[in-house]
């Protein structure tokens, strides 16, 4: 006969069974209860976003999915959006990209040229970051035009957070889109993925300013690989932001000195005839003229675009006499390019 189980071992077996019973009867259900509550919170929050911010999604196989975006390699299977969806917003799309550390010159280009392009009927697409992106969105909105912001995170994760007012303006009249779900925070890895959507949504890409390692060059490279047309403006060769645009222009990008250079070079549809007429003043046309940029007055103007200067500052910087600087400054003042205030010269 087998020996009976010792008393202390029987107690240990019963104790182990009690622990297992306690685990399965309390801990596991508690875990699933917490998981269920978190899941319900997420569902409720997602429902709130859909109801209050007009969040929706476009499946790649649906007819509403943007045709241009569908044509690129690795197009997102789902495109989330916030705002009032209207397929017409994707018809005449132009991506405007550039440096986050935008100069006064770059700001002038966006304010004057991009605003007129939006007024002409183009939808301005950009990446919602500070610098050229934010200026491009604002220019479109100020022109009562349409704009699409492509987020590096979810469509309801506002980054940078201090641009919430801009976000709300875009949602009110345009679209905020992303391949990530509503609350995804994104990260450094997601900006490159965002760039391919910026390029994919657009018929053409306009690069305003770009440094040597600017993400704008990535967007331009993707756009070129997708057969999109590239545009760029000439920049101050003394500026670090000139590297990218100069490189693109050398590689065949179309030089832009006025809105008509973009409107007339690409077959955007349903653009009114009067929108193809340049609205940039003769002075500003000269500003964007490559020949004029190389002259001493042009170099002085570009320097003043960066920050106000005194005559002495300009003389030291350009190694010129005060007389030469004052003569040039007077010429620019008379031409309406700059003005003098309290001993310093400012760009008009």
pLDDT band at 49 (very low <50, low <70, confident <90, very high): very low
Helix, strand or coil for residue 158?
coil
Which residues face 232 on adjacent strands? 207, 255
Cα→Cα distances 232→169, 181, 211, 347, Å: 27, 33, 13, 22
Answer whether residue 79 shows pLDDT above 90: yes
Contact in structure between 171 and 83 (CB atoms under 8 Å): yes
Strands (E), 9-142: 55-59, 78-83, 93-97, 123-126
pLDDT band at 287 (very low <50, low <70, confident <90, very high): low
pLDDT attached to residue 227 = 87
pTM, entire model: 0.67
Which top CATH class is 294-347?
Answer: mainly alpha
Rounded CA-CA distance 230/335 in Å is 32
Contact in structure between 299 and 332 (CB atoms under 8 Å): no
Task: Work out the average pLDDT over 327-338.
Answer: 83
Which top CATH class is 59-279?
Answer: alpha beta
Q: What percent of the chain has a predicted confidence (pLDDT) above 90?
A: 29
pLDDT attached to residue 184 = 75
Of 99-103, 209-213, 273-277, the poorest mean pLDDT is in 273-277
Rounded CA-CA distance 324/191 in Å is 47
Helices (H) and strands (E) in the chain, counts: 16, 12
Q: What percent of the chain has a predicted confidence (pLDDT) above 70?
A: 75
Contact in structure between 120 and 276 (CB atoms under 8 Å): yes
Helix, strand or coil for residue 272?
coil
User: What 3 state SS string does 313-338 have?
Assistant: HHHHHHCCCHHHHHHHHHHHHHCCCE
Cβ partners under 8 Å of residue 53, min gap 6: 82, 155, 156, 171
Annotated domain spans of the chain: 11-53, 59-279, 294-347
Cα→Cα distances 108→36, 117, 287, Å: 53, 14, 11
pLDDT attached to residue 11 = 57
Task: Work out the average pLDDT over 115-128.
Answer: 92
Residues in the chain: 348
Same fold? 59-279, 294-347: no
Contact in structure between 111 and 135 (CB atoms under 8 Å): yes
Q: Rounded mean pLDDT of the chain?
A: 79
* HSE-up (13 A, CA, CB side) for residue 256: 32
DSSP 184: -
Answer whether residue 237 shows pLDDT above 90: no
pLDDT band at 18 (very low <50, low <70, confident <90, very high): low
Rounded CA-CA distance 241/99 in Å is 7
Strands (E), the chain: 55-59, 78-83, 93-97, 123-126, 147-150, 175-178, 204-207, 229-232, 254-255, 309-310, 338-341, 344-347
pLDDT attached to residue 193 = 87
Rounded CA-CA distance 340/334 in Å is 11
Task: Work out the average pLDDT over 332-348.
Answer: 82
Tokens of 157: 């994760």
Of 99-108, 118-127, 158-167, the poorest mean pLDDT is in 99-108
């Amino acid at each position: 006969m087998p020996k009976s189980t010792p008393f202390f071992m029987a107690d240990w077996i019963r104790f182990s069974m009690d622990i297992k019973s306690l685990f399965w009867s309390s801990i596991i259900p508690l875990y699933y209860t917490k998981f269920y509550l978190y899941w319900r919170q997420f569902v409720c929050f997602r429902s709130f976003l859909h109801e209050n911010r007009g969040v929706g999604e476009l499946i790649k196989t649906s007819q509403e999915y943007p045709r241009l975006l569908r044509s690129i390699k690795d197009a997102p299977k789902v495109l989330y959006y916030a705002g009032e969806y209207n397929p017409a917003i994707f018809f005449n799309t132009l991506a405007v990209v550039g440096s986050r550390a935008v100069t006064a010159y770059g700001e002038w280009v966006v304010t004057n040229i991009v605003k007129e392009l939006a007024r002409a009927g183009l939808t301005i697409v950009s990446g919602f970051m500070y610098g050229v992106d934010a200026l491009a969105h604002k220019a479109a909105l100020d022109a009562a035009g349409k704009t699409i912001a492509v987020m590096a995170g979810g469509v309801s994760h506002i980054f940078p957070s201090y641009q919430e007012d801009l976000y709300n303006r875009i949602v009110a009249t345009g679209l905020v889109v992303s391949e990530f779900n509503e609350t995804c925070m994104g990260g450094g890895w997601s900006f490159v993925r965002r760039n391919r959507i910026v390029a994919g949504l657009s018929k053409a890409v306009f690069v305003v300013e770009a440094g040597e390692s600017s993400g704008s060059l990535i967007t331009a490279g993707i756009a070129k690989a997708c057969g999109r047309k590239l545009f760029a403006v000439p920049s101050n060769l003394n500026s670090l932001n000139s590297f990218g645009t100069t490189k693109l222009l050398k590689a065949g990008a179309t030089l832009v000195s006025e809105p008509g250079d973009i409107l007339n070079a690409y077959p955007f549809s349903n653009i009114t005839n009067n929108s193809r007429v340049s609205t940039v003043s003769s002075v500003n046309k000269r500003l964007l003229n490559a020949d004029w940029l190389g002259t001493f007055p042009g170099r002085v103007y570009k320097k003043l675009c960066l920050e106000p200067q005194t005559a002495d500052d300009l003389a030291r910087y350009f190694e010129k006499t005060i007389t030469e600087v004052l003569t040039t400054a007077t010429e620019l003042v008379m031409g309406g390019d700059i003005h003098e205030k309290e001993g310093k010269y400012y760009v008009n």
